[in-house]
Structure 1
C-alpha cells in the first residue's frame, strides 16, 4: 500500500473531469440547438455549413432581386399600356381624317390633338421610371453597335445636280431604328426629302428602309434594325427617285472597312442567382414617338392635313401599335420567367436549408440521452472519488 500517490483517486478524478466536460458540451448543444457551436466541434462540418449559409442568404436575396425586377417590368408595362391607349386614339384620329368630308378647320383640330398625343407619348417615355431609372427612353435598350472610321466613305451621283463630299460619322442604332449621316462639308442641303428607298447590301443580307429627311446639313435616315455586328463590311446606301432631285437621279454612299464599336448603352441586369454571373439582362427598347414611328426625324407629328397623308398615318400608327405590342409581350414573357425564377429560388433555398440543418443542428432527443448518461456518470464518479480518497486511510490500521 502507498500513500503518496493514490492512483485510484487520480483515475477517478480524470474520469470525472471527462464526464463534466461531456456534460457541459451537451448542455451547450441543448441550449443552442446546434451540434456545431465552434470549429472544434466539427471543423469540416463547420466549413461546409458556412458555405451553405452563404448560398441560402444569396438565394433569398436573389429572390428579392427578382421580385424587384418584376416591379420594374410592371412599371414599364404600365407606361406602355397608356402608350397603347394613346396610339389607339391616334389611329382613330387618322381614320377620321381619311375622309374628305372634313373641312380645313376639322383637319386642323384633328392635327392639334395628334400633336398633343404625340407629345404625351414622349412624356411617358421620358418620365416612366423605377427607383430613379428611366425605363422607356432607351437607356435600358442594351448595347448597340456603331460603324466608325472617318474618311472611309465614298459618295457617287448619277445624273444629279446635288454634290456631297467628306461624309463621315455614320452610326447604326440597333434599337432606335435611326441612322444619322452628318455632312461635314459640301453643298448646303435645305430641301426635305419625303420619299425614297435605302438599301443595305452586305454579306449579312439586305435591309430596306424609307422616309428620308434632310434638314440643313444633316441627313437622317429612318430605317430598320441592323442587328448583326461585324468588322470590315462593305455597305451601300442608295437613295433613288427622291423628290429633291430630278427623276432618275441617284445617290450612292459606300462604307468600306468600317469598324464596329459598342455605343455603351446598357440593359438592366438582374442578379437572379446566389453566385456570380447568374444574371438576367432586361432590355427595354426606346418607346418615344420617334422610335415607334409616329414622329418623323424632323420632329413633326403625323400629318393629317390631307386625305392621302391621313391614310398613310393609319399604316404608321398600325406599325407603332405593333412595336408597342411586341415590347409589351417581351416584358410579359420576362415577368413570367421571373415568376418561375422566384419559385425555383424558393425551392433551392428550402433544400439547401434542410441540408445545412442536417449538418449543423443538434438532434435534441439523442443529445438529451447523452446528457443524462454523462450526468449519471458524473454523479457516480463523484461518489467513487470519495471512496478512492478513503483507501489511504487503511494504512493507519497497520500503524496501530
Structure 2
C-alpha cells in the first residue's frame, strides 16, 4: 500500500463517478419536469428530426379538420336556404296548376294568382342574393371554391353551387317573369292582350294562311304565300310584301328565313322578333316589344291568320317550375353528398391525427415511470458518491501518523 498526497486517485475516481451521476440526475429532473424525453437535439438528434416532421403533419391535419368543418357549415347554410327555395317552387307549381283551370277562374282570380307568383319570384331572388357565409354569396352562381382538407398542398375538395352566372334566383332557375295568364288564339281579325306588368315582352306566332278552299296551308309548301300584318309600337310589317327567295321552295328553308328575319329586323329592330324553324306551321316567333313608355298598355297584333299567346301560359309555367324544382333537387342532392364526404373526411383526419400523435409521443415524450426509476437510481448513486468522496478525502490523513513517529 502506498500513501500519496499530491494525487488522491481514490478521490478523483469518486469525483468523476459523482459528476456523471449528477449529470444523469439533472437530465432526469429536466425530463420529469418538462414531460419530454427530447428537450434538445443532443438528447436524440435523429428522433428530434423525425418528431418535428410528425409534429408539423399533426398540426396541419388539425387545421385541416377545422377547414373541413367550415366546408360542412357552408354546405349546410346553402342547403338550408335551398330547403325554403324548394318550398317556394312547390307553392308556385300549385298556383300554376290552379291557374290552368281556365274554365273555373275569372280574370280577377288569375290576377291574384299572378300577384302571388310575382311575390314568390321576388323572394327567390332575395334568398339567392342574401344567403352568404362569412360575407361570400352562396346561391348567386358565383360560388366555386376549394377547401384545404389535408396537411399537404393540393389536398382540396372543391364546392360549386349552381353554374357560372346561373344561380338559385328566379332568373337562374328559369322562372323569372312566369306569367300564368291564359290567352286564346285569335281568329282572322287579330287579337289584343295586355303586356305583363313588369314589361316582359309577349310572343307572336305567324301561322299558315288559308288557301282558296279555306284550308290551312303549310308554309313549307311550294307556292304558299304570307299574308296579314303585324303592328307593334306604332310600326307595321305587311307580311304580304315579303317575297320568297326562290318560288320553287317553301318558306322554311334558310334563305327564306333570312328574308323574313331581315324584314323583321328592319321594321321592329334587330332581334326583337326572330324566326323559329321548329315547326312548319309556325314560321317565326319572337318578342313584340311593349310600346315606349306604356309597358302595361294593350298591344295590338293585327291581320288575318296571326295568333297571339303569352310567353308562358299556365301549362308552360308548370313545365318551367318542374324544371326549376329538378334543378334545386339536384343541387341539394349534390350538397348532401358533399356534406357526407366532408364528414367522412373529418373522421379520417381525426384518426390520422390520433395515430400520428401517438407516433410522435413515443419518440419525444417522457415515459414517466421509467424516468422516475432512472432518477431514483441517480439520486441514490449521488448520495453514495458524495459519501465515498468524503471517505477518499480522509485517506491522506494517514500520512500525519507517520510524521508523528
Normalization by structure 2: what TM-score?
Answer: 0.64
Q: Secondary structure at the match of 2:161?
A: coil
- 1:396 CA drift (Å): 2.3
Matching residue within 315, 323, 331 for 1:311: 315
Task: List alignment gaps of at least 5 residues for structure 2.
Answer: 184-311
2:170 aligned with 1:289, yes or no? yes
Q: Secondary structure at the match of 2:348?
A: helix
- 2:157 alignment partner in structure 1: 280
Q: Deviations over 1:159-215 (max 9, x none)?
A: xxxxxxxxxxxxxxxxxxxxxxxxxxxxxxxxxxxxxxxxxxxxxxxxxxxxxxxxx
1:215-230 equivalences under 5 Å are: none
Matching residue within 391, 394, 398 for 1:390: 394
Matching residue within 109, 121, 127 for 1:118: 121
Matching residue within 365, 373, 379 for 2:377: 373
Matching residue within 120, 136, 139 for 2:139: 136
Q: Deviations over 1:228-277 (max 9, x none)?
A: xxxxxxxxxxxxxxxxxxxxxxxxxxxxxxxxxxxxxxx12211111211
- 1:29 alignment partner in structure 2: 31
Q: CA–CA distance in 2 between the matches of 1:29 and 1:330? A: 52
Task: List alignment gaps of at least 5 residues for structure 1.
Answer: 141-266, 296-300
1:199-278 equivalences under 5 Å are: 267-278=144-155
2:322 aligned with 1:327, yes or no? no
- 1:65 CA drift (Å): 1.4
Q: CA–CA distance in 2 between the matches of 1:83 and 1:365? A: 62
- 1:391 CA drift (Å): 1.9
Q: Secondary structure at the match of 2:154?
A: coil
2:76 aligned with 1:71, yes or no? no
Number of residue-to-residue matches in the alignment:
269
- 1:395 CA drift (Å): 2.2
After the TM superposition, which of the residue ranges 70-79 and 320-329 deviates more from structure 2? 70-79
Structure 1 moving runs of 4+ over 6 Å: none
Q: Secondary structure at the match of 2:172?
A: helix
- 2:238 alignment partner in structure 1: none
Name the structure with the higher strand share: 1
Q: CA–CA distance in 2 between the matches of 1:380 and 1:84? A: 84
1:173-184 equivalences under 5 Å are: none
Please, what is the CA RMSD of the aligned residues? 1.4
Q: CA–CA distance in 2 between the matches of 1:372 and 1:15? A: 16
2:46 aligned with 1:48, yes or no? no
Q: CA–CA distance in 2 between the matches of 1:87 and 1:29? A: 67
- 1:32 CA drift (Å): 2.0
Q: CA–CA distance in 1 between the matches of 2:131 and 2:376? A: 66
- 1:354 alignment partner in structure 2: 358
- 1:112 CA drift (Å): 1.4
Q: CA–CA distance in 1 between the matches of 2:102 and 2:348? A: 59
